[in-house]
Structure 1
Amino acid sequence: MVHINVLDPGASPLDYYGYELRRHREAAGLTQKQLGQIVNYTGSLVGQIETARKLPTAVFSERCDAALGTDGLLSRLVGLVLRSQLPVWFQQVAELESRAEDICTFQTHMVHGLLQTRAYASAVLGTMDRENLDDRAEVRLARQRLLEKEQPPVFWVILGEAALLQEVGDGPEVMRGQLAHLLSYEAHPYVNVQVLPFSAGAHAGLQGSYTLYRFPTDPSIIYTEGYGQGHPTANPTTVKDCSLRYDHLQAAALSLADSARLIRRVMEERYGGRPVA
């Protein structure tokens, strides 16, 4: 067990977060148990976070900021902490997402991570490995905060119809909630979801899923993914080819309105209607 008195704030973002939480808690004259009571968490959890043995969440950080009067310090740090917990090969993707002006993704069989619900993300991440699953799901969901920024990127998503029909999770309620979550973006000005139906036949994305990141000044980047590794490239020929393919995929996909109607129909007919509250 790591003793709190020897926690090195320079060891990692998680250690730095724990150090700052402890420093501000002690400055406020609170024990771990007292702070836990104020923010509605256990004192044990506060201690685990202070000793870098447990990941903080955005909600925990917001409550502690309010309780300790830290002017949003912990809420600003938590994004860095959670990003540092991503697999090394994926950390570059999170950086691309945070800087992109436009994100265009085509997903053949799975909802993109930026639009996954907690239950769906947990089911995907836990397929072969359930160790620290709650923390890993929290890390994935933390990436979604970029869609809540004052000026978020324009996020364009084309989902293969298979992504709607592949039942992910334990019971239909997981997919019911996931499809309802997609529908919640129906009127969102920056998030657009299209479905590429089976009826489209042969299409420009048959080689697989990929994501295109566009930036205000830097070259665009194409990202593809394999088992346990990512493949970003700024090769102009590849970027041009994939950009053209994306244009064709958008043309072959259903309109935004028709896509929402299909998602709603699948949710109702295949997964039993509206999500459980």
Structure 2
Amino acid sequence: MVVLEKARCNMKESEKIRRKIRDGEFVGQTSGVAPGYAQANLVVLPKKYAFDFLLFIQRNPKPCPLLEVTDVGSPYTKQVADNADLRTDIPKYRVYEKGKLVDEPIDITSYWNDDLVAFLLGCSFSFEWALLEAGIPVRHIEANRNVPMYITNIQTNPAGVFHGPLVVSMRSIPYDLVVKATNITARFPSVHGAPVHIGYPELIGIYNLNKPDYGDPPIIKENDIPVFWACGVTPQAVAVNSKIDFMITHSPGHMFVTDLKNQDFALF
């Protein structure tokens, strides 16, 4: 027991949270978890869809910035974390069959097979530390909530079988800090970068901010402006729209915590 405790003490914070997730000790949303470490979206597909999806993310880098692709049949990471297990190291998953959500498990070992390929995509949770360091409030972190996410009327660039709407995450920013927030997040193109839309949500097909398609309702204070970033949940909306035979993703807001540092994603 003493040896085990010492081993845990020597772990990175990212490794500690993954161990807690694997052991069922943590099942919540991950915004603000393991400060300093980048987080990632997950997409798992049968091999027959892998090339089409690579083409899709190449054509849609804002919502789908690629961090890693696993070997066919392997659930283990090599680049974003040392041999983490994508079947167990995410707090909650979603399983889609023919475009329909059929399960939301906390472990996908029973679904895994040797024909699957996993993709890890950048996540906007990874630039939130930079906003906080600059004195820009992140309302959902303050309230310990999940970020609100919305399906828009903006269409992604199709590729093969994949086509569908862009999903955005929203953060309400004090009006006098919107330009600052835009400039800060523009430094992080590998985790969605600058906003895709500011204000006037109805122009992108969002008519009720209090009813997000994913995540929790927003907290919007006086003089806040809604600011929208491309979101890695986009493949889930695309899976529904494209009626993909089989797809596994993270549950929105329940991300994979990598061993990469947030600051390493800044271009300047």
Which is higher, the Rg of structure 1 or of structure 2? 1
Say whether the fold is shared (TM-score over 0.5).
no
Question: Which structure has greater strand proportion?
Answer: 2
Q: What TM-score comes out, normalization by structure 2 length?
A: 0.28
Q: What TM-score comes out, normalization by structure 1 length?
A: 0.27
Larger RCO, structure (CA 8 Å, separation 6 or more) = 2
